[in-house]
Amino acid sequence: MHVAHNCRLHNAVIMANGALLGGHAEIFDRAFISGNCMVHQFTRVGTLALMQGGSAASKDVPPFTITHHINTLAGLDVVGMRRAGINSADRLELKKLYHFLYRAPDHGFRNALAAAQGQFSSGVARQVFEFLSVAKRGICMASSSRATGTQETGED
């Protein structure tokens, strides 16, 4: 594991063996950086985000998401949200928001984000909006091969 200069690790961050953080990276509460993951300098990893083993991010990783490969979202971390105590109504809101932003943006991500702010008002949705609104390096986008947007089957 390597944490470079001027990194900010918030509360309860988990980093596995071989994880690498470039300078000035910021890792938010309860994020999980799996083994052999790389986070580029000045990149942010959001609250409760999970980076799958061997993945890399040079763009910001939104809260509550799973990242795989390079700068690619695999979906929402439903298991992590449940373990963190996020209630089912908020998990459902996040699932709808994820689909709104990543699965139906015919008019582009930024336009979908602006439209979503008028439709989603929960605290967890606001947390996502705040994170995305200050992204400077770009934002990891969803894989086109992942149609469901979640990493677990079930009611959420």
Domain range annotation of the chain: 2-78, 87-135
Handedness of CA 133, 134, 139, 142 (dihedral sign): negative
Q: What does the pLDDT look like over 98-148, one tens digit per residue?
A: 999 988 767 788 888 999 999 999 999 999 999 999 999 999 999 875 444
Class of CATH domain 2-78: mainly beta
Mean pLDDT within 12-35: 98
Mean pLDDT within 55-82: 97
How many residues are present in the chain? Answer: 156
- Stated pTM of the model: 0.90
Q: Which amino acid is at 108?
A: G
What pLDDT, on a 0 to 100 scale, did the predictor assign at position 105? 60
What pLDDT, on a 0 to 100 scale, did the predictor assign at position 151? 47
Containing H/E element for 20?
A: strand 20-21
Q: Pinpoint the alpha helices (H) of 13-107.
A: 78-83, 88-98
119 by Cβ neighbours in 10 Å (0-12 / 13-18 / 19+) ranks as: exposed
- pLDDT at residue 149 is higher than 50: no
What pLDDT, on a 0 to 100 scale, did the predictor assign at position 124? 96
- pLDDT at residue 153 is higher than 90: no
More confident residue, 67 or 155: 67
More confident residue, 121 or 30: 30
Q: Mean pLDDT for the chain? A: 91
Cα distance between the two ends of the chain:
34
Beta-bridge partner residues of 66: 50, 75
At which residue do the structure tokens 């989603």 appear?
A: 120
54 by Cβ neighbours in 10 Å (0-12 / 13-18 / 19+) ranks as: middle
Q: Pinpoint the alpha helices (H) of the chain.
A: 78-83, 88-98, 109-119, 123-133
The most confident of the ranges 62-71, 116-125, 144-153 is: 62-71
